[in-house]
Amino acid sequence: MTALTPAIWGTTYLVTTELLPPGRPLLAAVIRALPAGLLLVAITRRLPQGIWWWRALVLGALNIGVFFALLFVGAYRLPGGVAATVGAIQPLLVALLSAGLLGERLTVRTVVAAAAGVAGVSLLVLRADARLDALGVVAALGGAGVMAVGVVLSKRWQSPAPLLATTGWQLVAGGVLLVPVALAVEGAPPATLSGANVAGYAYLSLIGAALAYALWFRGLRVLSATKVTFLGLLSPVVATLLGWIVLGQQLTVAQAFGAVVVLGALVAAQVQPSRPRAVAARDREGKPELVG
């Protein structure tokens, strides 16, 4: 179920290019987050209590507000999929943070899978003529970093409130933080919207935010933070496949191989290492393991 979230996020590029007005990514981010959050809060009728007022603000900023703003800067200043390739380091960042803050064990399998994920995404989306921009790289790294911190803190701070309420708080907080940024960078919203624009914004808000983030935060409640963040590698795979199937974009052999590498890294990160038979038998019998 959690894998549906990055699959949905992978449709964002197609919806944005085909249905939304051009040159308004921050407006799309605001409309994606704020109405969805207000809807979930209205449905659940739950407001934060106590420390959850500031926790919801921090998580909303990390997972949505600051992340979207940095993602916008990186995407505009880094051509040819460089932003997506830099962002693919997020699983490794989450694994490192989880080892320090959540007590999860950092394994060689996880590190190798994370490196393979970056390599696979680079084959999938990186162009040979791509050029680096210092500010763009910093923004892309910052985006990966703030969302990595947000993922780990979302796992560490388990809210007693219902899932939809917690999701709504974060979407509202992130959306409110994005409003002044969108107005300063892009100006006032367009005076008129077409039916296609409205349909695109509705999809991003209801499916791309309300549903997707609810599934994402649900996954963080039942899975390890590292396993959840590796699922995010599905997003560029879905985006590339939709570009090939729907938009008729060319799919090269290198891209196909990159998709296979990404899926292999994702699966490797999810698989639990097998335990020796003797240890498994002792666990079933309730006998303690002898040391020494």
pLDDT single digits (tens) 4-24: 999 999 888 888 888 988 888
Average pLDDT rounded to a whole number, residues 38-66: 95
pLDDT (tens digit per residue) in 124-158: 887 766 666 788 888 889 989 999 999 999 999 98
Q: Name the residue among 96, 29, 93 with its Cα closest to residue 61.
A: 29
pLDDT, the chain, mean:
87
What type of residue is 217? F
pLDDT for position 73 = 80
Whether 59 shows a pLDDT value over 90: the answer reads yes
pLDDT (tens digit per residue) in 67-98: 988 887 877 776 556 777 888 899 999 999 99
Instruction: State how far the Cα of 33 lies from the Cα of 176, in Å rounded to an integer.
Output: 9
Please give the structure tokens belonging to residue 145: 């970093």
pLDDT for position 83 = 74
Average pLDDT rounded to a whole number, residues 35-42: 96
